[in-house]
Amino acid sequence: MPSIRPATLIAALPQPVVMIDNEGLVIHANPAAIELFGRKMGVSNIRAHLRQPAVAAMLERVFGGQSDGSAPFVTATASQEIVWRVDARRIDRAHILLSMQDVSDIESAEAQRRDFVANVSHELRSPLTVLAGFIETLRGPAGDDPAARAEFLGIMAEQSARMTGLVKDLLSLARVEAVERIRPRDPVAIDRVIAGTLAALRPQIESRGLELHCDIPPDLPEIPGDADQLAQVFHNLIENGVNYGGGGRLEVSAEKLPSYPGIAGPVLRVCVRDYGDGIDPEHVPRLTERFYRVDKARSRDAGGTGLGLAIVKHILVRHRGRLVVRSRVGEGACFSVILPCH
């Protein structure tokens, strides 16, 4: 059986791979490496290309006799930043093999995980600190003061409810993410889902003095979906309109459209429109991020956890739908849910 030359093997690999000698001179570079670093890669020293401190230090250790090593390396284009993991493996006394793997998605996921843990810790720490403070106070002289005791217990109940809401939303988000890749198929009547949601939220709508205008045609087609999750979508959006919209008026409408960009076939569009303060356009792209709040103080006062729109986004992703937000400061906001009919 004929032997295969190392250069042929390296050229067949999809990721950037380079063979170098103990001085760092490039012996072979596969097409992926040449595309990344340029054609001069084949007649140069690897130090000229991997000059970032972490990977340069790793290479010097391998040149000094270490059998292998690994270090991050970052490249940037006009549109994106790519994080690579550079692995060095000594294959004999005279040759070292370098391979590069794009780990941008892994790094991004890890950064999101760290941010998520930090945000959850912060959101829970605040009410826990309040509860601990009032418990300590009630153990002292304030425990014998009926007026102070009633006031403090009321605040403690609010903070407890805030933590309960946060845990509930976290569990809801986890459940949605667990089945996000499984598209629901059960027939769902959107008009009934919206009617049930409005009935549940009517006390809140009336307590805010909002005038509700509902335009839901009775002949809307059923769509494939998860009725409970879609009810959660409209509950979150309508509740946001009640809590943050204001303006004395809230509109909920639905219509069937023959098509929508990026979705095959006809769709249903459900719009929740308020006439409140509106949202600065710079905030709109980040509204569905976990724990992102336009007005943190107002959101907490309204009992928001910062997870409502993130849950909406993940549910709509599962349904192959879209959330479209249009708003201007002083003109209210319109949240449109786009759901495919087939």
Percentage with pLDDT > 90 across the chain: 41
Question: Higher pLDDT residue, 77 or 231?
Answer: 231
How much is the pLDDT for 3? 63
Give the tens place of pLDDT for each residue, 255-294.
Answer: 999 999 888 889 999 999 998 888 888 888 888 888 887 7
CA distance 274 to 247: 7
Residue 278: half-sphere exposure toward Cβ, Cα within 13 Å: 10
How much is the pLDDT for 1? 46
Residue with tokens 């007026």: 147
Give the tens place of pLDDT for each residue, 194-234.
Answer: 999 999 999 999 888 899 999 999 889 999 999 999 999 99
The full set of domain ranges for the chain reads: 6-102, 106-178, 182-342
Fold annotation for 6-102: Beta-Lactamase (3.30.450)
CA angle (161, 167, 169) in 5-degree steps: 100
Does the pLDDT value for residue 20 go beyond 50? yes
Does the pLDDT value for residue 298 go beyond 70? no
Does the pLDDT value for residue 301 go beyond 60? no
Residue with tokens 């059986």: 1
Q: According to the per-residue pLDDT averaged within each range, which of 74-78, 79-83, 225-229 is highest?
A: 225-229
Average pLDDT of the residues in 13-30: 91
Structural domain 106-178, CATH architecture = Orthogonal Bundle (1.10)
| 3-class secondary structure per residue, 244-309 | HHCCCEEEEEEEEECCECCECCCEEEEEEEECCCCCCCCCHHHCCCCCCCCCHHHHHHCCCCCCHH
Write the CATH number of the domain with boundaries 182-342. 3.30.565.10
Does the pLDDT value for residue 335 go beyond 90? yes
How much is the pLDDT for 229? 94
Confidence of residue 129 (pLDDT cuts 50, 70, 90): confident
Cβ–Cβ under 8 Å, residues 130 and 137: no
Instruction: Indicate whether this model's pTM tops 0.75.
Output: no
Does the pLDDT value for residue 341 go beyond 80? yes
